[in-house]
Structure formats: C-alpha cells, structure tokens
Amino acid sequence: MPDTASLPSVLFVCVHNAGRSQMAAAFLTHLAGDHVEVRSAGSAPTDTVNPAVVQAMSEVGIDISAEVPKVLTTEAVQASDVVITMGCGDTCPIFPGKRYLDWQLVDPAGQGVDAVRPIRDEIEQRIRRLIDDIT
C-alpha cells in the first residue's frame, strides 16, 4: 500500500452526506483504489445513506450499504488537497492552498432509484475525469 502522505486526497462534501458525496467517494475509491485518499462529509449529515442511492450503486457493483453519513470537520478539509462541494453553500470552510471544485448536481434526496441513476452516471463520469486530472 502506498504511503498515504504522498497520495492525493479528495474530500467530497454535500449537505446530508447521504447521496451525492457518498456516490462520489465510492466511485473514486472503486476506480482509483489505493492511489487516492478519499473522504466524504456533510454540513448537516442525516442518520443513514439514501436507500435509493445504495440501490443505484449496487446496480453498478459498488456496495455502500455499510456507509454512515459523517459530519464535516475543519480537520477533514485541512487534510485534503482537493475539496469538491455539491450544494453545501457557505457552510464549507475555505482554506488557502486547497483546490476547490463545485459540482452542480441534482440532489437525490427524496427521489427514487430511477431519478438517482442519471445522477450516479454523471458523478461516475466526473470521477473518471478527476482521476485523470489528479493521478
């Protein structure tokens, strides 16, 4: 396993850490393996990951059923090279020297799996481009 201090690190942030950021973190972990350090968090996390998101990810062979939404901390931002926000607005702390990207994506909250699939597919494409960019 590579030394984590030399790995690029990415933090995905959305409000509830129950949908978009969970899918993005899972895709990056799945596609980049141990070549990238991956974190996800929410500015106001819910208790569980959206069941439609869990189902949509399982359809592409990625199991996120054991994931738990996490609260966004200053430490998580400080420890990350790239911070990708997905609708968390002004609640995301900004630190000099970090690369920030804001991905405008539909929020899957309250939506069924049919509505989540296109969001999942868009996130996968963005993750593939991100991997090319940071590795």
Amino acid at 135: T
Active-site annotation, residues = 14, 88, 92
CA distance 20 to 103: 10
Written as one string, the DSSP assignment of the chain is ---GGGS-EEEEEESSSSSHHHHHHHHHHHHHGGGSEEEEEESS--SS--HHHHHHHHTTT---TT----B--HHHHHT-SEEEESS-GGGS---TT-EEEE------TT--HHHHHHHHHHHHHHHHHHHHHH-
